[in-house]
Amino acid sequence: MKYNITRDYIGIGNSRSGQKNNGIEFIVSHDTGNAGSTAYGNRNYFENTNPTASAHTFIDDKYILEIIPLDEKAWHVRYNVSSDNSRYGADANDAAIGVELCWGGRINFEESYDRYVWYHAYLVDQFGLDPKRDIVAHSTLDPSRRSDPQNAMNRYGISWNDFINDVNQAYRKYFQGEEDLPEPVVKGASVQLPVGRGDEGAFVREIQRDLISAGFSLPQFGADGMFGSETERAVMRFQKRYNLAVDGLVGPQTLGTLKEVNNGDRPVNEFPLPRGVLQNGDEGNSVKQVQRALKRLGYDPEYIDGKYGSLTEDAVKRFQSMYQELANDGIYGPNTKRFMEMELEDL
């Protein structure tokens, strides 16, 4: 075993039904879609906010973390997509393991990716799968809504074929011909909500990074892993903005809303659109606000990463092309802002 596997299961609820799956026939590869979101950060989110979605395993540069037993169902692919049935004769939630790659922020991608590759090889060995046939990208099953895990891997120059070849090589190197594999190591580092003043550690740091990403700055101490008065004030400002109970504590509702904001899943009319001019090459929270608005309006820029690249520019152009009054130049400015706000009001 090149890596230990951590099993720290969430409780039964919306995210983990406890229903047994029908046996594992394939693997669905995902990424978290949220830069800097760690394995335990995701585990704590699903445990404490209990959304009707989940995956079996989250992998970052420190942990291969199974949060749902592999013999149970996880809700990681929509049931109303049909490509999983066409390929494998079964729904992914009933017959596949969902594996999430954590990336970005301060996560060491090389370490995270190496664990991600190894774990896929481990699953191939455990369930008698073919690495070139029985691993599928989430984007392949649900292409109209998802771009993972290529969303993460392509940023680091890794194609889907590169990944499959890496898994196949890892399978041959570490598992082919081996017998009596040792049991995975089990350990835990879960966090109970609410989190508030005086708490510290990696999960507090992740909350702080999410606050900063959502536009609630921490100018004095930044994401230092210490929940002090500055972080408390930022949490209260966030709670006030999103009509939550203003208590300065990060409980299930605050954490869930914070993740929704950073994933671009909140209604965009809750985000004030930025003033000024933004164009290809710009970066920052103002760009994220524009990207979220575009996604909400149906002009998906694919990434909500705060980087105004060619995909965001193309999305702006597509929006502008709907109005004769706008120059179709891909530059966000006062006129584009005015028309975007007009459309958002109609949602």
Q: What does the DSSP assignment read for 48-104? A: HH--S---SEEE-SS-EEE-S-TTB----S-TT--HHHHHHSS-HHHHEEEEEE--S
- In which residue ranges of the chain is CATH 1.10.101.10 found? 202-263, 268-345
Q: Is residue 150 classed as helix, strand or coil in its secondary structure?
A: helix
Residue 211 near residue 238, CB atoms below 8 Å:
yes
Residue 301, class by beta-carbon neighbours within 10 Å (0-12 exposed, 13-18 middle, 19+ buried)?
buried
- Cis omega (within 30 of 0) on the bond before 194? yes
What CATH class is the domain 6-174? alpha beta
Q: Which DSSP helix (H) or strand (E) runs through 210?
A: helix 202-213
Q: Is residue 200 classed as helix, strand or coil in its secondary structure?
A: strand
CA distance 205 to 195: 11
Query: Taking CA 149 as the corner, what is the angle to CA 146 and CA 155, rounded to the nearest 5 degrees?
Result: 110
The fold for domain 268-345 equals Muramoyl-pentapeptide Carboxypeptidase; domain 1 (1.10.101)
The residue type found at 94 is D
Q: What is the pLDDT along the chain (347 residues), one digit of tens a residue?
A: 789 999 999 999 999 999 999 999 999 999 998 888 899 999 999 998 888 899 999 999 999 999 999 999 999 999 988 999 999 999 999 999 999 999 988 898 989 999 999 999 999 999 999 999 999 999 999 988 888 998 888 777 788 888 998 898 889 888 986 544 443 333 344 677 888 999 888 788 889 988 987 888 898 999 898 999 999 999 999 998 888 899 999 988 898 888 777 765 555 455 568 889 999 999 987 898 898 888 878 787 877 778 999 999 999 998 998 888 899 999 999 999 989 888 877 65
Query: Taking CA 148 as the corner, what is the angle to CA 142 and CA 151, rounded to the nearest 5 degrees?
Result: 135
Residues in the chain: 347
Residue 38 near residue 219, CB atoms below 8 Å:
no
**CA-to-CA separations, 152 to 104, 172, 280, 304, in angstroms, rounded:** 8, 25, 20, 12
Note the CATH architecture for domain 202-263.
Answer: Orthogonal Bundle (1.10)
φ, ψ of residue 217 to 5 degrees: the values are: -70, 155
- In which residue ranges of the chain is CATH 3.40.80.10 found? 6-174
Of 336, 286, 337, 277, the C-alpha closest to 307 is: 286
Residue 10 near residue 16, CB atoms below 8 Å:
yes
φ, ψ of residue 207 to 5 degrees: the values are: -60, -45
Residue 134 near residue 25, CB atoms below 8 Å:
yes
pTM beyond 0.85, yes or no: no
The pLDDT value given to residue 9: 95
